[in-house]
Amino acid sequence: MTEAVPADPGAIFDAHVRAEFVERDIQATMATMSDSPYVTHVPALTGGCGREEVQRFYDRYFMGRWPADTQISPVSRTSGQGRVIDELIMRFTHDVPMPALLPGVSPTGCKVELPVVVVMGIADGKVTYEHIYWDQASLLVQVGLLDPATLPVSGAEQAHKTPRSSAAIERAHSPGRSAAGELTRPPRSRPCSQS
């Protein structure tokens, strides 16, 4: 007997993520996807295009390559126009190779808290694509490969600044402004025009 496909795009998103992170089952994950899906982890340029490449990506680089302490906390969800967009906070200890996020980087043992945005396309009850975004500089700071003292980058502070509820959102300050409303960072200069 075939399991019914959920009609709600959010339920399809959740079934896909459950197969990836809870069940850790490539076949169950692929069963949530269309005949020609693609997956792109934008900052690291990892993923695959087409069913065969996506399955190979999950098998070689994604499934079973997450730390045992990985936690995913939802922040917000937007759904419409054939897609679901989730804003999440991911937490883990970088104690295993993670070729999907950090290709070529050996485990550092560092704790990571990372805001992540997943844009998942859905058509006819199946996942057609995933675009996954995070700030690679923040990740590199947190695993000790980028020095925030020498560049205008931050680490886990990004996750700490991300509100986790509507009450927190209402209390949060506007980005880049203090409680009094003044800019907390110097404004960026405008690009020079070539004459």
Its pTM stands at 0.79
Is the residue at 2 inside a domain? no
Is the residue at 183 inside a domain? no
Is the residue at 191 inside a domain? no
Q: Which range of residues forms the domain containing residue 149?
A: 9-162
| CATH, residue 111 | 3.10.450.50
Tokens of 61: 């680089």
Handedness of CA 119, 156, 44, 21 (dihedral sign): negative
Total number of domains constituting the chain: 1
Is the residue at 179 inside a domain? no
Is the residue at 71 inside a domain? yes
- pLDDT tens column, 71-98: 999 999 999 999 999 999 999 999 999 9
Is the residue at 167 inside a domain? no
- pLDDT tens column, 119-150: 999 999 999 999 999 999 999 999 999 998 88
Is the residue at 141 inside a domain? yes
Is the residue at 55 inside a domain? yes
Q: What is the 3-state secondary structure (H, E, C) of the chain?
A: CCCCCCCCHHHHHHHHHHHHHHCCCHHHHHHCEEEEEEEEECCCCEEEECHHHHHHHHHHHHCCCCCCCCEEEEEEEEEECCEEEEEEEEEEECCCCCCCCCCCCCCCCCEEEEEEEEEEEEECCEEEEEEEEECHHHHHHHCCCCCCCCCCCCCCHHHHHCCCCHHHHHHCCCCCECCCCCECCCCCCCCCCCC
- pLDDT tens column, 25-70: 999 999 999 999 999 999 999 999 999 999 999 999 999 899 999 9
152-155's contacts with Cβ under 8 Å and 24+ in sequence apart are: 152/185
Tokens of 106: 């050996």
